[in-house]
């Protein structure tokens, strides 16, 4: 398995897609019930293959990611060849930008000396989707990129 198995909740939400996946392999509902009962390892493998297919589809469409911690915000733009990052750091440890008050403080004070803006970029590996997946496993969330586009006006992005 390349990524991680979808959670039970995710699999439940993708019930129809999973039925279509099984149908594409000519597996009927009755056959699936038999496989689950008599060949649990095979059933697990099918869930893993389905999960990887879903992840590949999602990751191939990712353009932006965000990761927040109490004093840092990491904004990523994923291109075809490189990933660019804007990092926002709040020096004041009493400010927590993951809270509404802290985020408001950042909005009001992002150009002050106690806020540092950095940018960098790096080439993606031959496995772009895995590079993105690693960031997601570290806590990043897929976004539409509004914050990245807003902050890129204030830093030079490579």
Average pLDDT over residues 28-50: 93
Q: What percentage of residues in the chain have a pLDDT greater than 90?
A: 91
The SS3 call for residue 117 is strand
Note the pLDDT of residue 35: 94
Residues 6+ apart with CB under 8 A from 66: 73, 74, 75, 76, 140, 141, 143, 147, 148
Q: Residue 155's pLDDT is what?
A: 85
Look up residue 140 and give its DSSP letter. -
DSSP of 18-68: HHHHHHHTT--HHHHHHHHHH-HHHHHHHHHHHHHHHHHHHHTT--EEEEE
Hunting for tokens 């932006």 — which residue is that?
A: 64
pLDDT range class, residue 157, cuts 50, 70, 90: confident
Domain ranges of the chain: 8-60, 64-152
Six-digit token pair at 68? 């927040």
Q: Look at residue 139 and tell me whether its pLDDT is greater than 90.
A: yes
Q: What is the pLDDT of residue 109?
A: 92
Q: What is the pLDDT of residue 154?
A: 87
How do residues 11-35 score in pLDDT, each as one tens digit?
A: 999 999 999 999 998 999 999 999 9
Mean per-residue pLDDT, 141-158: 90
Residue 156: band (very low, low, confident or very high) from pLDDT cuts 50, 70, 90:
confident
pLDDT in tens, 62-95: 999 999 999 999 999 999 999 999 999 999 999 9
How high does pLDDT run on average in the chain? 93
């Amino acid at each position: 398995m390349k990524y991680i198995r979808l959670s039970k909740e995710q699999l439940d939400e993708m019930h129809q897609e999973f039925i279509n996946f099984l149908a594409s392999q000519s597996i009927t509902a009755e056959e699936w019930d038999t496989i689950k009962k008599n060949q649990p390892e095979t059933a697990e493998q099918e869930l893993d293959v389905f999960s990887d297919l879903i992840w590949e589809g999602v990751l191939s469409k990712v353009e932006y990611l965000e990761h927040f911690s109490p004093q840092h915000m990491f904004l990523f733009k994923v291109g075809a060849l490189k990933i660019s990052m804007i990092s926002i750091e709040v020096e004041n440890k009493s400010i927590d930008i993951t809270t509404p008050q802290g985020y408001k403080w950042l909005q009001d004070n992002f150009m002050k000396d106690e806020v540092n803006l950095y940018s960098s970029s790096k080439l993606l590996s031959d496995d772009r989707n895995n590079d993105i997946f690693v960031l997601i496993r570290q806590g990043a969330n897929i976004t539409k990129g509004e914050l990245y586009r807003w902050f890129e006006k204030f830093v030079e992005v490579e």
